[in-house]
Amino acid sequence: MRFWDHQLSARSETRRLLLAFALAVAVLVAAVHGALVVAWLLMVAVLPVHLPFPAGFLAVNVGVSLMLVLGGWWVETSNLRAGGVKLAQRIGAREARPSVSHAEQRLCNIVHELCIAAHMPQPQVMVLPRTDAINAFAAGWDASDAVVAVTQGALDHLTREELQGMVAHELSHLHEGDTRLKMRLAGMVFGLELVYNFGDEVRERRGLAWLFGSAIMLAGFAGWLAGRMLKAAVSRQREYLADARAVQWTRSRDGLGGVLRKVMAQRRDTPAGYERVTHQGLAHPAVQHMLLVDLPGAGAMERWLDSHPTLAERVQRIYGRSMQPLPLTPVNEPPEAARRAGTVAPGAVTLASLVDPFARL
């Protein structure tokens, strides 16, 4: 994989999309005004009375729609701003326990290793204990409340190298500020949605208001749809960027590549349907866009509104050709210590205290 090139292209693609996003907002504001002018002209044509064109029509229209978009953006962004750790706890993640479980000791070590490779402060490490699906997510507004959470399924099925690839992908999202970027975009889309809702409300008053309301609604809907599509496109580029980062930091294709191929196998081999694998907590809308792989089950329009590229496309980029799914077998370096919790007597000298001088403090 030529990871430097892939990173460059993902970055410039993101910039282009963000520009398009700003343009979409400007077009929406213009469209609201245009639609209202058309509605006004229609009204004047239909009504027998002669009315002068309202003074300050443009300023009011632009002002109101901008206020809705930016206000909605601000409100939603401050809603999403709750810390990463809090968010992770809300969906059922708990802190990793390196002194009790071998698998979690390995996970904490891997996060530490990759933070050295990535030159970044260490995020909180968490585990989603009741989730069998192989997955992970990162969250947090800034370094102080950044968190990386990994599912039990990933701990059970991934080798050390694959876990490294997975963690590296999530660290890239934190390192590149994707959490913030995606929260801002989500806020913006919410603002665009507000314009649509406002139109809907105006329309309910019947009569002439119906005409104006419909005009606003139409413009709002177009803006909202464009916003969602652009947001999803940005998100897909950030996934490619994170994949390329993971390969750069681990200097291995088989790490992340193996994870994606095992997810393919998990989806294919689950007899009762992949939906039956527990995805507990992962369906929360606030973490959806920060997952390693997205959840299955999108309907029509999925290609345009998906936050992640398909597994096949990502594997294709990583290896330069398509690859078969990897069979899912419990890893050779068994995580049984996780199951046998309690092997360490309370008060015993744990390994962490032998190795890490700060653990004893």
Partner 1 sequence: MSATAWIVLAVIAALVVWAIAVYNRLVQLRNRIANAFGQIDVQLKRRYDLVPNLVEVARGYLSHEAATLEAVIKARGQAQGAAAAARAAPTSAGAMGALAVAEQALGGSLGRLMVVAESYPELKADATMQSLSEELTSTENRLGFARQAYNDQVLDFNDQAAQFPAIVVARLLGFPTAPMLEATRSDEERAAPRVQF
Q: What contacts 176, CB < 8 A, 6 or more positions away?
A: 238, 241, 242, 245
150 φ/ψ angles, rounded to the nearest 5 degrees: -125, 145
Q: How far is the CB of 166 from partner 1 (least distance, A)?
A: 15
112 forms part of the interface with partner 1 (CB under 8 A) = yes
119 forms part of the interface with partner 1 (CB under 8 A) = yes
Which residues in 6-65 contact partner 1 (CB under 8 A)? none
Which residues in 220-249 contact partner 1 (CB under 8 A)? 249
Task: Report the C-alpha gap between 139 and 178 in whole angstroms.
Answer: 9
Is there a contact between 131 and 225 (Cβ–Cβ < 8 Å)? Answer: no
Q: What contacts 178, CB < 8 A, 6 or more positions away?
A: 172, 238, 242, 290
Q: How far is the CB of 115 from partner 1 (least distance, A)?
A: 9
Which residues in 268-307 contact partner 1 (CB under 8 A)? none
Strand 136-139 versus strand 94-95 pairing type: unpaired
Q: How far is the CB of 344 from partner 1 (least distance, A)?
A: 8
Structure-block tokens of residue 39: 């509605």
Q: Which listed residue (50, 206, 251, 321) binds partner 1 by CB under 8 A? A: 251
206 forms part of the interface with partner 1 (CB under 8 A) = no
Q: How far is the CB of 77 from partner 1 (least distance, A)?
A: 32
Strand 147-151 versus strand 94-95 pairing type: unpaired
Is there a contact between 169 and 135 (Cβ–Cβ < 8 Å)? Answer: no
Q: Which listed residue (18, 42, 66, 351) binds partner 1 by CB under 8 A? A: 351
Q: Which is nearer to partner 1, 207 or 346 (CB)?
A: 346
Q: How far is the CB of 18 from partner 1 (least distance, A)?
A: 25
109 forms part of the interface with partner 1 (CB under 8 A) = yes
Angle in degrees, 0-180, between the axes of helices 3-46 and 207-250, rounded to the nearest 10: 180
Task: Report the C-alpha gap between 107 and 167 in whole angstroms.
Answer: 9
Q: Which listed residue (66, 117, 181, 305) binds partner 1 by CB under 8 A? A: 117
Q: Which listed residue (114, 128, 185, 287) binds partner 1 by CB under 8 A? A: 114
Task: Report the C-alpha gap between 356 and 108 in whole angstroms.
Answer: 13
Q: Which listed residue (60, 296, 343, 359) binds partner 1 by CB under 8 A? A: 343
Q: Which is nearer to partner 1, 118 or 256 (CB)?
A: 118
List residues near partner 1 by CB under 8 A: 102, 105-106, 109-110, 112-114, 116-119, 160, 164, 249, 251, 337, 343-344, 351, 354-355
